[in-house]
């Protein structure tokens, strides 16, 4: 799986970006791991509110569960940053995959053992905080400034490929085989996503210490407010949208229907990723934010 995935990414990049031939492995392994993770998370992620609803949880409990994930992340992000400085982003991504597998196992056995939802939310929050911080640090160290926009665009495409395949596969598997198979396949994909990470060494020094005393809060406060609003909108969309469709519109074949709709919308996002990358390279990122 590792060699097939990296071979595909290599072929795509070498046709269009010859500047990456001499030093591809670092970026290629990140592309491959991200695609596998994206597929694994999208197999279950979009269906999570519906899965909890069909398991017997009330709508307020589901909303509280989703809110708890992001509330926990507020307290986990800073320790996660210190862990990245000490261990390196790749090792922290490995830890994140481990916690994601734990949270999936909790979901898989939830109907039988009735784990407290806060425990599932806490494990999921740890996995998310560790991954996104480590991924951003890793990617920032291996991309090239002169082609950063294209590399970000291609990274978005690889993520969207996984996000496109995941919902439709997950929906079909849940409909015809059962949700336990859907979650089990997601776990396998997370195990496979670990393999490409360690083809090359850590891109940063380890055993470093962070110091937030000179952090330029005034410089980034506008970005923080903008990102906060974006995240709030994203939380509402991933929670309310699948619940509304699953409970009100698609009352039969719920998982397959939601998976098909999600995959089609994600497919449309793939075609916009290249354009976004080109705009960034043309120094038109501010215009892009205004249009969005």
Closest CA relative to residue 262, chosen from 175, 118, 165, 128: 165
* Cβ burial 132-161 (10 Å sphere, 16+ → b, else e): ebbbebbbeebbeeebebbbbbbbbbbbbb
Q: Give the residue extent of every domain in the chain.
A: 23-291
Alpha-carbon Rg for the chain in angstroms: 19
DSSP letter at 176 equals H
pLDDT score at 280: 64
pLDDT score at 257: 75
Per-residue pLDDT of the chain (292 residues; tens, 9 = 90+): 545 555 544 554 444 443 344 344 677 788 889 889 999 998 888 889 889 988 999 989 998 999 899 999 999 999 999 999 999 999 999 999 999 999 999 999 999 999 999 999 999 999 999 999 999 888 777 666 656 666 676 777 777 778 778 888 888 898 899 999 999 999 999 999 999 887 777 777 778 888 878 878 888 888 888 878 877 777 777 677 777 766 666 666 677 777 777 777 777 766 676 666 666 666 665 666 666 5
pLDDT (tens digit, 9 = 90+) per residue, 244-255? 766 666 666 677
Q: Is the Cβ–Cβ distance between 47 and 182 less than 8 Å?
A: yes
Rounded distance between C-alpha atoms, residue 119 and residue 103, angstroms: 8
Dihedral (CA of 13, 15, 16, 22) sign:
positive
pLDDT score at 231: 78
pLDDT score at 18: 39
Rounded distance between C-alpha atoms, residue 137 and residue 23, angstroms: 18
pLDDT (tens digit, 9 = 90+) per residue, 196-221? 887 777 777 778 888 878 878 888 88
Q: What is the pTM of this model?
A: 0.80
Token readout for 68 is 């708890």
Q: Which numeric CATH code is attached to 23-291?
A: 1.20.1250.20
């Amino acid at each position: 799986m590792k060699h097939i995935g990296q071979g595909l990414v290599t072929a795509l990049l070498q046709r269009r970006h010859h500047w990456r031939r001499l030093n591809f492995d670092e970026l290629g392994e990140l592309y491959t791991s991200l695609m596998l993770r994206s597929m694994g998370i999208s197999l279950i992620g979009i269906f999570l509110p519906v899965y909890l609803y069909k398991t017997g949880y009330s709508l307020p409990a589901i909303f509280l569960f989703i809110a708890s994930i992001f509330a926990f992340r507020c307290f986990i992000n800073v320790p996660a940053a210190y862990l990245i400085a000490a261990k390196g982003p790749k090792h922290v991504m490995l830890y994140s995959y481990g916690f994601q597998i734990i949270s999936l196992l909790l979901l898989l056995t939830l109907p039988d053992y009735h784990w407290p939802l806060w425990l599932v939310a806490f494990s999921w929050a740890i996995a998310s905080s560790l991954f996104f911080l480590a991924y951003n640090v890793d990617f920032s160290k291996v991309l090239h400034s002169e082609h950063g926009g294209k590399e970000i665009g291609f990274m978005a495409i690889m993520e969207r490929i996984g996000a496109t395949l995941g919902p439709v596969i997950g929906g079909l598997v849940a409909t015809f085989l059962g949700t336990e198979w859907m979650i089990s396949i997601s776990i396998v994909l997370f195990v496979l996503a670990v393999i490409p990470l360690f083809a090359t060494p850590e891109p940063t020094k380890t055993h470093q210490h962070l110091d937030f005393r000179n952090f330029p809060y005034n410089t980034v406060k506008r970005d923080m407010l903008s990102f906060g609003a974006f995240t709030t909108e994203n939380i509402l969309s991933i929670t309310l949208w699948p619940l509304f469709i699953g409970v009100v519109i698609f009352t039969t074949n719920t998982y397959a229907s939601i998976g098909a709709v999600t995959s089609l919308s994600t497919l449309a996002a793939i075609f916009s990723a290249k354009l976004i990358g080109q705009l960034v390279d043309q120094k038109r990122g501010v215009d892009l934010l205004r249009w969005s």
